[in-house]
């Protein structure tokens, strides 16, 4: 399982822009990183979100 920190830049006349700014496999570290990003960000049009990402299930055909 991986935790992604997503940065959202909002604009007045166009759609928001999203980017992955960091990632980790440790949930506690991800929470700490998110708080750090929120504390240092001074721009009101930038938001940070934590997303839990699980890789999709791979189904492979068994060969006899």
Assess contact for 22 and 36: CB atoms under 8 A: no
The string of pLDDT tens digits covering residues 1-45 is 899 999 999 998 999 999 999 999 999 999 999 999 999 999 999
Rounded to whole angstroms, the Cα distance separating 11 from 61 reads 46
Domain boundaries, the chain: 2-53
The string of pLDDT tens digits covering residues 43-64 is 999 999 999 998 877 777 776 6
Q: pTM for this structure?
A: 0.77
């Amino acid at each position: 399982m991986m935790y992604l920190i997503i940065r959202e830049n909002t604009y007045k006349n166009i759609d928001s822009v999203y980017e992955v700014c960091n990632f980790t496999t440790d949930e506690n570290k991800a929470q700490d990183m998110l708080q750090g990003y929120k504390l240092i960000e001074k721009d009101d049009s930038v938001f940070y979100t934590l997303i839990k990402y699980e890789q999709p299930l791979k189904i492979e055909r068994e060969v006899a």
